Structures are given as C-alpha cells and as structure tokens.
C-alpha cells in the first residue's frame, strides 16, 4: 500500500463530516461547564479588571492559539484515524501512542467525562427538582449519548452540533444581558493587584493555570479525522476557527463578569455566571443560565463520546488492543464496540465517586502529551518524505511557545499536587506491561 493510500485509509469508517462539523467539535471539546466558574478563581489571583480579562487573552494566545496552529499543521500532515494517537505513533513509535490511549481511557477522557456527567446531573436535578440521585442521572445520560453515537457518526455529530449551537446561544444571552441590562459594579477603592504588587507575576502565573485548563480540549477533534471528507483542509481550518471562536467567547464572558460583579464581587462569587444573570434578569435569569450550563455540560459529554472512541479503535486497528474494538458496524459505519467501551468506563467512574481525585491529575498527563505531540512537528519537518507537505507559518516560534506553556503548567501541577500526580503517572506506567503483552500477541492477530 502506498503512502497516499495509507494516509487515506479509514478502516471502514465513513467520511461524512465537513468544516462546520469540525469547527463545532473543536468548540464543543473546549467549552464545558468550567468557564462559568473559573473566572472567579482567576479573580482571586489577580484583582485588577485589566488582568482578570488580560490573562484570558494571554492564555488564549500563548496556549490555545499556538496549540491550534500546531495541531492544524499536524492535521495537514497526518489526516488519519485517531488524530493525536497517530501523530505520536508515527513520530515516536507504538509505545508512547499506546500509553496515550491507555491514559485517555482510564484517566484523561473518562475521568473528565464522569465529572462533567455529575455536573450535568446536579444542574438537571436542581432545575427539575427531581428526586433521582445525581449518579443515576449521570449514568443514564452517558448511556443515552452512547446509544446516539452508536447509530452513526452523522447522528452523533448532529447531536453535538445542535447542543453546541444551544450552548453558544446561552452564552450570547449571558453576554448581552450582562453588558446591557446589568448595571456596572462600583469600582473598589483599591484592587487586589495594588495590595500584592510585590509579587504580581506570581498571581498572573497562578491565574493562568485555571485559564489554560479551561482552554484545553480542542485537540480531541483530531480523533475524528478518519470521518472527515477532507481532513487536511477541514480539520486544520476547523481547529483554527474553533479556537479563535472560543477565545472570543471566553473574553466576552469574563468581561461581562467584571462589568456586572466587579473584581471583588467576582472573586467572592461561587457561581459568577448565575450571579451576573441574577443581577441582570433576577431569579429567572439565574435559572436560564443554569439550564445553559447543563446544556454546556451535556454538549461536552456528547463531543467526548463522539471523538475519544476513535483512539481506542485506532489502537485496536494497530493490533495493540482487543480486536473487537476495531470492528465497524456494517449499518452505522462506526466503531460500536469502542463507543460502548468509552461509555462503560465513564459510567463506572461516575458511579465510583472517585472522579474528583482523578481530575486532580488529569491536567499533568494531558499537558505532558500536549508537549510530546507538539514536538512531533520538529520530527515530521525533518523527514525527507514530509518535506513537500504544506506547512503553516509561525514554526518554530509558535511550537516552542506552546511546548513551553505546557511544561510550565506541568511543573506547576506536579508541584501543587505531587501525590495525585504520582498516582496518575503510576497508572500511565502500568500501561507498559500491557503494551508488551499486546506487542507479543501482535503477530498472531496481524
């Protein structure tokens, strides 16, 4: 099989998605429920309105935008099933790629989805006054989305795009109400930055951690490359458009929070988005944004259920996982077993109640693989067979800035949560003997 044919191979998956789908997947992978809470965390570290808004622009530029440029180039160079898994495999070999998929299934994706499922359940129960337990609502929601995605990639993508448009609509109402209906908060006699001016950069650095966490997730759209009609064009453009759209929305959300609550009020708030809508429209406004946050969480879950199973599918197609995970349904043309696997693991974690601890070390592993993936651009550009491939401007500066941002967050996360980080890396290293097992089985199943 020649290189062009190999690059186009989808292992039976159907190429049914376009640029709009890719853009919605990118935005849906980033915008969850966190942005409605994290502006308050940022305000506790930097009290001046300038820096409360500024760190979101700074984090978007240093992390999300440079990362989008890196992943857009990788989408052009490696438009393959599994996205980030394929980039790591082709650059470093099967072991790092397998460990990424292993961590994605057991910690990064499933743990994050379990926590968001519980978040959705809490808002759902609060809005409906339901007596059903949060865990049962979370598991039922995960199973529902699992079923929808088993029906086909178009079914899953349409659900995700619909939820994403509802999410953007709710954010637009929040921004409009906050800017035009909420009175401007009185300016405080001093700002937090004035009080802690001796170490302002420490505050900015601490504020960037939740900002970068809130910007994460755009890369998951790369997992679905094998089902895009033109991945070299649409995934690259969708990544850049989606990330730019998220930065714009996030900046306006934070601007509205500062306008309506003030820096001190924002820092003291536990639910800043609800507080803004309460100031603008009363309790009905707070209930509306509560529904918006629930939809946002549901959209994030839908995006994860659509994208992540393609990594496990790619692992199985490489004979590094159970062969059944690589099976594609003849009717729906999607990896049903991989989707069911993702749903099952997510549901188990949601029921176990351990997802809070898992989330505390998701970030350290996530940014580690971000940095490793970005470094593959240097490797691919150095190879003669890739020399003729179209590339994007900015390298090596954008690539180096993105890698540096990842390493700063990695060091900060390990420093602040060393025990949880060690547990996470223990789970990661436990994948090595599993990889050796599958490698030894590989000749028998190839």
Q: What pLDDT digit, counting tens, does each position of 296-318 carry? A: 888 888 888 888 898 998 898 88
Which pLDDT score, from 0 to 100, does residue 95 have? 94
Which pLDDT score, from 0 to 100, does residue 440 have? 84
**Could you give the CA distance from residue 9 to residue 25 in angstroms, rounded to a whole number?**
22
Looking up residue 290, the CATH number of its domain turns out to be 1.20.1740.10
Report whether 426 contacts 103 (CB < 8 A).
no
pLDDT tens sequence across 153-195: 778 778 888 888 998 999 999 999 999 988 887 766 554 444 3
pLDDT reading at 374 higher than 90: yes
pLDDT reading at 375 higher than 80: yes
**Could you give the CA distance from residue 90 to residue 99 in angstroms, rounded to a whole number?**
14
Name the residue range of residue 69's domain. Answer: 3-445
Q: What average pLDDT does the chain have?
A: 83
**Could you give the CA distance from residue 226 to residue 174 in angstroms, rounded to a whole number?**
36
Report which of residues 192 and 273 the model is more confident about.
273
Report whether 19 contacts 238 (CB < 8 A).
yes
- Per-residue tokens: 371: 């940095």
Which pLDDT score, from 0 to 100, does residue 198 have? 42
Which of 340-354, 357-371, 421-435 is predicted least confidently? 357-371
* Count of domains for the chain: 1
**Could you give the CA distance from residue 352 to residue 355 in angstroms, rounded to a whole number?**
8
**Could you give the CA distance from residue 201 to residue 193 in angstroms, rounded to a whole number?**
10
User: Omega before 130 cis (within 30°)?
Assistant: no
3-state helix, strand, coil in the chain (%, to 5): 80, 0, 20
Which pLDDT score, from 0 to 100, does residue 21 have? 86
Task: Calculate mean pLDDT across residues 93-110.
Answer: 91
């Amino acid at each position: 099989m020649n290189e062009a044919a190999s690059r186009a191979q989808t292992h039976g998956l159907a190429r049914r998605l376009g640029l709009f789908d890719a853009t919605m997947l990118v935005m849906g992978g980033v915008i969850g429920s966190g942005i409605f809470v994290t502006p308050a965390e940022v305000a506790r570290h930097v009290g001046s309105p300038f820096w409360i808004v500024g760190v979101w622009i700074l984090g978007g530029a240093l992390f999300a935008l440079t990362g989008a440029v890196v992943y857009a180039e990788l989408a052009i160079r490696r438009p393959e099933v599994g996205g980030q898994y394929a980039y790591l495999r082709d650059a470093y070999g099967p072991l790092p790629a397998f460990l990424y998929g292993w961590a994605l299934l057991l910690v990064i994706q499933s743990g994050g989805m379990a926590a968001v499922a519980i978040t959705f359940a809490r808002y759902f129960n609060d809005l409906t006054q339901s007596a059903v337990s949060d865990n049962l609502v979370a598991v039922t929601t995960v199973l529902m989305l699992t079923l929808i995605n088993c029906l086909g990639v178009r079914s899953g993508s349409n659900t995700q795009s619909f939820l994403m448009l509802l999410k953007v609509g709710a954010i637009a109402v929040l921004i409009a109400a906050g800017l035009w209906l909420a009175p401007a908060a009185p300016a405080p006699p001093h700002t937090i930055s004035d009080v802690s001016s001796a170490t302002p950069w420490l505050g900015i650095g601490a504020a960037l951690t939740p900002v970068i966490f809130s910007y994460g997730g755009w890369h998951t759209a790369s997992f679905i490359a094998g089902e895009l009609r033109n991945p070299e064009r649409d995934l690259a453009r969708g990544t850049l458009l989606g990330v730019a759209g998220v930065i714009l929305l996030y900046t306006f959300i934070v601007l509205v929070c500062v306008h309506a609550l003030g820096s001190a009020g924002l820092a003291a708030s536990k639910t800043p988005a609800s507080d803004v809508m309460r100031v603008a429209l009363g309790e009905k406004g707070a209930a509306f944004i509560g529904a918006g946050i629930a939809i946002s969480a549901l959209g994030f879950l839908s995006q994860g259920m659509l994208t992540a199973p393609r990594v496990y599918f790619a692992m199985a197609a490489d004979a590094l996982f159970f062969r059944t995970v690589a099976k594609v349904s003849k009717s729906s043309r999607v990896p049903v077993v991989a989707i069911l696997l993702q749903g099952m693991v997510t549901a188990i974690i949601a029921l176990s109640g351990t997802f809070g601890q898992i989330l505390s070390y998701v970030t350290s592993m996530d940014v580690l693989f971000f940095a490793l993936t970005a470094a593959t651009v240097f490797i691919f550009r150095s190879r003669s067979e890739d020399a003729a491939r179209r590339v994007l401007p900015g390298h090596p500066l954008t690539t180096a800035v993105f890698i540096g941002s990842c390493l700063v967050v990695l060091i900060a996360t390990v420093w602040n949560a060393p025990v949880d980080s060690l547990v996470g890396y223990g789970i990661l290293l436990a994948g090595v003997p599993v990889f050796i097992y599958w490698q030894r089985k590989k000749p028998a199943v190839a």
